[in-house]
Structures are given as structure tokens and as C-alpha cells.
Amino acid sequence: MSDASEQDARALRCPSCGGSITAGDRLCAFCQAELATVRCPGCFSLELAGGKLCAQCGATLGLEGVEGPMGLGCPRCRDAELVGMLIGEHHVGECLRCTGLFVEHPVLERITRRAEERGGLRLRPVVLAPSEPEKTAYLTCPRCQVHMGRKQFGERSGIVIDVCTQHGVWFDRDELARAIEFVDAGGLARIGERERTAASIRRLYGDGRRSSEPMASYDMVGSFLASLLRP
């Protein structure tokens, strides 16, 4: 079989119209038919339904809970509505058109803490195609319609997210999966170690006197998430 034939055999096709589709799509770009996909509860990547394990992180795939329209517009697509989804034990809002996710702050904290606790335990590393370049634009929060701030998810992660300090965080396509990969790989641990070192230096030598008081316990995830909410 020629290389061209092999590539054609591996190509993903929409079951409704036969158009070419991309792994990770929820809808066919040609006929808008809904595709059989499921979001991994471990790394939040989109996988084709029918498999038992996530091809990205090796987690066991399960059923999604579709909670229905949320009455909130997609900040990226604007004319599309977010759909409430139960992914594992986490409630998120998803735009089926662009596959972006709106994650409220308490949910993001639970996801981040779980990823930090699981750090280094992936069955295999996540390998995701880089997100397409996007024009810099300030999106509005789906809940309050206030413009969200753009912040990097951790130092040197390269993931720029949109944050509403009151309600939640918007992750464009694949960004939450990439953020979880960053946490799993110890990204927050490296940030936390630098912060702990800096705090120890300030505590011991900041006023010229060495303190004998024990240093308070350090909540790495809490400190990181709080930094996302600072103006």
C-alpha cells in the first residue's frame, strides 16, 4: 500500500457526511453532526468513544454526564451556548463548537489538587498538538460579561488563560489538558519550591534578625490559584 493510501486509511471521516474530521472535535465542521467523543476524566482531552483507555494519559474512560444548556454564551464563539458537562466528578461548561471549557474556581481547585497529588503517576506522557495561534483578545466572562484578564498558567507553561476573578477560568481548546500536564510534570512544585525558598530568606534575614518561630505550612496549590486571581 502506498503512503498516500495508508494516510487515507488512517484519516478520520464524519459518519454522517464523510468529511474529514480532526481528533478532538465534537462537531463535524462540514455538516455540524455531533461526533462520538468522550472527554477523559483524568487529563480532560477529547477521545473517540468506544475505547477503554485514554490514548493521551492512560486513564480509564467513562460516560459523560450531559447536564444540558447552561444559558451562558461561549466567550470565544459568542453565538454558541455552553453546555453543562459532568466529567468524572467535575462540573464544567463546554462549547461543543470550539471545545473550550469554562471552569469555576472551586472546580479548578479540585482539578489542580488532584493533578498535583497524582504528579508523576501518568501511565504515559500527554502528547497534544499545539493549539492554533490566536489573536490577542479580551474575552468576557460567561456569567457576568465583564472582560476577563489574560494570565499565564504557571511560570513557563506557555498556556495563557482567561480569568474572571469572581467566577472562573476559560480554557480554549486543549488548554486545560495542557495545564494538567504541566501540573503532573511538577510545574507547580518548581514554582512552590522557589516561593518557599524566597519566603525562608525573607523570614530569616528580612529584618536583619534570625527568627526562631516555626514557618507556617505552605499550601502550594492554594498559593498558585490565589496568584491567578490577583489583578
Q: pLDDT of 27-40, one tens digit each?
A: 888 898 888 899 99
For residue 210, pLDDT over 60 is answered with no
Residue 135, pLDDT score: 56
Q: At what angle do helices 187-205 and 175-184 cross, to 10 degrees?
A: 60
Q: What is the largest CA-CA distance in the chain?
A: 76
For residue 3, pLDDT over 90 is answered with no
Tell me the pLDDT tens digit for each residue of 81-130: 999 999 999 999 999 999 999 999 999 999 988 887 776 544 444 444 44
171, 161 Cβ separation under 8 angstroms: yes
- Which residue bears the cell 453565538? 79
For residue 197, pLDDT over 60 is answered with no
Residue 195, pLDDT score: 54
- Cα distance between residue 187 and residue 115, in whole Å: 11
- Cα distance between residue 92 and residue 73, in whole Å: 14
pTM: 0.77
- Cα distance between residue 171 and residue 45, in whole Å: 12
Among 60-64, 147-151, 212-216, which is the least confidently predicted range? 212-216
- Cα distance between residue 222 and residue 200, in whole Å: 18
CB atoms within 10 A of CB 127: 10
Tell me the pLDDT tens digit for each residue of 4-26: 433 443 467 888 898 888 877 88
- Cβ density class 2-20: b for 16+ within 10 Å, e for less: eeeeeeeeeeeebeeeeee
